[in-house]
Structure 1
Amino acid sequence: MTERTTCLVAGGGPAGMVLGLLLARAGVDVTVLEKHGDFLRDFRGDTVHPSTQVLLDELGLGERFAALPQSHVDEVRIPGDDGPDLVVADFRRLRTAHPYIAMVPQWDLLDLLAEAGRAEPNFHLRMDTEVVDLLRDGRRVAGVRYRTADGRTGEIEADLTVGCDGRWSRVRELAGLRPHEFPVPIDVWWFRLPREGGERATLMPAMRRGQFAILIPREGYFQIAYVARKGLDAQLRAEGLDAFRERIAQVAPQLADRVGKLESLDDVKQLDVRLNLLRRWHADGVLCIGDAAHAMSPIGGVGINLAVQDAVATARLLAEPLRRGRVRGADLARVHRRRWLPTVLVQGLQRAMHRGVIRPVIEGRRSGPPPAVTRLLNLVPGARRVPAYLIGIGLLPEHAPASAKR
């Protein structure tokens, strides 16, 4: 059976849900396909940045978001070996309604967006529904073929198909769009350890003895990213659980008394870090945004923020062409042009961080950030506002179009 929608969004992550909600509020019929049956997946990005919180305020969702279980991170602090801690970014210095990063389980945020979307007659969310192929009218992408969890198949015709389906995007692959891959020296291993009630909610990168980890405070636990050279996973698992616990105790001594709470290496999930960029984000009838257009390194935790801002720009620039029923290549190119520069600049900063900060630490050549950066941040505390702005606000923050505000 063939159905019809104006805009088909593949992927119910932050970019897909924000895009669907904004287009529906602009009067565009939009269908979001999410291949999973719910949003309950662990170790996804759970950072909601100040600019995204401002967007939620503009959408009339701020109070409901504030009621979600969350912790607030107001600074990034590197513990000192023998001296005082180094504050790298101070979000309290930002001139914004929300001078902090909110740590919220991503499934709660997505449930909130889904609930807001269901209040719009033009919004249709289909769970357990996966894109398996693209429909074509000549060279133009004209919709998708899908398969549901129970094996049913069908087709949905669409004026525009948007790939919001992540860094392994099926839409991108089927559309023949190939990203340029940048070399990445690291992978990340995620796991949890308990967090005691009196421990401050501070984002803490830990660097020492050739080791690197990031401690992310959550309600009742630390979500920990252990960062090491790419391709180390087999060796880590061959060394065994006790050796991995010792690695964590060395890099983060404040956690040495609780590494025994990590009961199995099955609880340690590897992230194959990728950093790539589509040279062209669109083809006739199809557009990719978010991780489908530009996979980001986890360094800085900015991937979700960029994906959401992509979605806002896409909704603002394409709502009118979609309402007219005629989306041209020039319209899709406007989205690419709008979001290309901030994406390239952020990826350039991440690549510089890989070279200048992460690689020297994991190779044992340094036990902290570059000395010049440390001197600058200690001598000029106001300089901490710069990384806070880059992480929390972004280089080109997007605001909700008038049609979406409540």
Structure 2
Amino acid sequence: MTSRCVVVGGGPAGMMAGLLLARQGVDVTVLEKHGDFLRDFRGDTVHPSTLRIIEELGMIDEFLRIPHSKVSTITVQTPAGPTVFADFARIRGTHPYIAFMPQWDVLDFLARKGRELDTFRLLQKAEATGVVREGDRVRGVRAVTPDGPLEVRADLVLAADGRHSAMRRSVGLPVSASAAPMDVLWFRLSREPGETMSFLHTGPGFVLVTIDRGEYWQIAYVIPQGAYETVRAEGLDRLHADVASVHGPFAARLGREITDWDHVKLLSVRVDRLRTWHRPGLLCIGDAAHAMSPAGGVGINLAVQDAVAAARMLGPVLRAGRTPDRRELAAVQRRRSLPVRAVQTAQVHMLADLYPKDRRTTVERPLAARVVRRFPFLTRWTAQFIGVGLRPEHVD
């Protein structure tokens, strides 16, 4: 099989890049290893900058018919009291909020819009395992499918296959890793009608993030990096007690709904980035280029922004029938490196004291919360940084 561009990975970066390139008339094949997009506890935040991209594509009214909830402020609750950390209502734009929308619905929407175009092809249950080379140049990918091996030849491979990218391993791209400040245990609890919660709470040895999903709460129980085995040894009773200490009505629901560790999913947080995102014929974007902490859900925003930049900068080259050269691939990395570095610096250093250091200590007065409490005007800046980011991208 041949295609002008093959995109590896059907996540936010891959699906957005495939759709945008196909809209430019570039023949695109997207390879997704799963048969559907139904994965629980994926990042489900749609930031103002992503909503603006959807609006620029003329799809916003249809997109917002997907069931979702809106968050206009992020409030941090510590023993020192509540602090509004980010106020999205104060940023400019027609969508000054974060939309919490199941990622599978977002990906289904992008896939459906892509399939409306003759230049878009999505192959599911097709797991890319390595690249096709000619000399030092990547000329496509090899994949396994239920029907047997598949080889897709292309002028450009866009690797959007996540933080454990097989594509970046196959071409030997070196990774620079930073110490992540936490790990996360995800689970869900049913939600009572009208029940409200602050977004983030601190406690002894944990931080709790609660996301309103309408019928249920998606809950992140944040623990010190590498402490999962300690948490399991302490038992579910400790987890139940910690969560109930934040919101008493959770106690009965925990006893009914979280009865086994199988109900709790571990996310081992990884923060890293490639020193070089490209090889001749291949470019990494999204988590394949830079794995982020889940803090603020900004990894999805950065992945979408990468896709928009790559499609805008490389689409005309591919449409002209030419393979992007090293200089053109490097230009995409230069364009996106500043936002990535800024967010990772904030996650690893500036927000490090927001997360627990051990299983005994309570985070009482994190520096970021103290600064924002003293200078409330900064809530607009933090919302801009989280929701829009540095160097936001546009479709055209």
For residue 318 of structure 1, give the secondary structure of its aligned residue in structure 2: helix
1:181 matched to 2:214? The reply is no
Deviation at 1:354, TM superposition (A): 4.7
Matches within 5 A, 1:5-404: 5-81=3-79, 83=81, 85-148=82-145, 150-200=146-196, 204-253=199-248, 255-260=250-255, 261-324=257-320, 325-359=322-356, 364=361, 366-370=363-367, 373-401=368-396
Letter in 2 for 1:79: Q
Q: Distance in 1 between matches of 2:251 and 2:379?
A: 29
Deviation at 1:362, TM superposition (A): 5.9
Letter in 1 for 2:242: R
Letter in 2 for 1:97: T
Letter in 1 for 2:49: S
Q: Indicate conservation of the 8 Å contact 2:24/2:315, yes or no.
A: yes
For residue 238 of structure 2, give the secondary structure of its aligned residue in structure 1: helix
Deviation at 1:20, TM superposition (A): 0.4
Q: Indicate conservation of the 8 Å contact 1:209/1:251, yes or no.
A: no
Q: Distance in 2 between matches of 1:284 and 1:328?
A: 7
Deviations 1:240-269 (A, max 9, x none): 322221222235556345322323210100
Q: Indicate conservation of the 8 Å contact 2:133/2:140, yes or no.
A: yes
The farther-off stretch of 302-311 and 240-249 is 240-249
Q: Indicate conservation of the 8 Å contact 2:76/2:369, yes or no.
A: no
Please list every run of 5 or more consecutive structure 1 residues that lacks an aligned counterpart in the other structure. Answer: 402-406
Deviations 1:129-180 (A, max 9, x none): 01122111111000011111x2511211100001000000011110111211
Q: Distance in 1 between matches of 2:160 and 2:198?
A: 28
Q: Distance in 2 between matches of 1:359 and 1:126?
A: 42
For residue 344 of structure 2, give the secondary structure of its aligned residue in structure 1: helix
Q: Distance in 2 between matches of 1:60 and 1:361?
A: 48
- What is the count of residue pairs matched by the alignment? 394
Deviations 1:284-327 (A, max 9, x none): 11110000000001112100000000000000100111122231
For residue 366 of structure 2, give the secondary structure of its aligned residue in structure 1: coil
For residue 51 of structure 1, give the secondary structure of its aligned residue in structure 2: helix
For residue 40 of structure 1, give the secondary structure of its aligned residue in structure 2: coil
Please list every run of 5 or more consecutive structure 2 residues that lacks an aligned counterpart in the other structure. Answer: none
Change in Cα spacing, 1:289 to 1:374, as seen in structure 2 (3 Å) is closer
Q: Distance in 1 between matches of 2:380 and 2:12?
A: 26
Q: Distance in 1 between matches of 2:186 and 2:177?
A: 23
Deviations 1:25-79 (A, max 9, x none): 1111110000000001110000001110111111121111110111111111123
Letter in 2 for 1:15: A
Deviation at 1:209, TM superposition (A): 2.4
Q: Indicate conservation of the 8 Å contact 2:224/2:358, yes or no.
A: no
Letter in 1 for 2:87: D
Letter in 2 for 1:378: R
Deviations 1:354-399 (A, max 9, x none): 53322458661632423xx445433443221111111111111111
Change in Cα spacing, 1:37 to 1:365, as seen in structure 2 (3 Å) is closer
Deviations 1:97-147 (A, max 9, x none): 111110100010001000110111110100110112211111100001111
Q: Distance in 2 between matches of 1:223 and 1:54?
A: 25
Q: Indicate conservation of the 8 Å contact 2:13/2:160, yes or no.
A: yes
Q: Work out the percentage of aligned pairs sharing the same amino acid.
A: 48
Q: Distance in 2 between matches of 1:253 and 1:276?
A: 38
The farther-off stretch of 323-332 and 257-266 is 257-266
Letter in 1 for 2:186: W
Change in Cα spacing, 1:137 to 1:236, as seen in structure 2 (3 Å) is same
Q: Indicate conservation of the 8 Å contact 2:224/2:355, yes or no.
A: no
Q: Indicate conservation of the 8 Å contact 1:73/1:203, yes or no.
A: no
Letter in 1 for 2:266: Q
Letter in 2 for 1:105: P
Letter in 2 for 1:184: A
Q: Indicate conservation of the 8 Å contact 1:207/1:368, yes or no.
A: no
Q: Indicate conservation of the 8 Å contact 2:201/2:207, yes or no.
A: yes
The aligned counterpart of 1:404 is none
Deviation at 1:352, TM superposition (A): 1.4
Deviation at 1:203, TM superposition (A): 5.7
Change in Cα spacing, 1:234 to 1:356, as seen in structure 2 (3 Å) is closer
Deviation at 1:82, TM superposition (A): 6.7
Q: Distance in 1 between matches of 2:294 and 2:33?
A: 24
Q: Distance in 2 between matches of 1:141 and 1:43?
A: 34
Change in Cα spacing, 1:297 to 1:363, as seen in structure 2 (3 Å) is farther
Change in Cα spacing, 1:242 to 1:362, as seen in structure 2 (3 Å) is closer
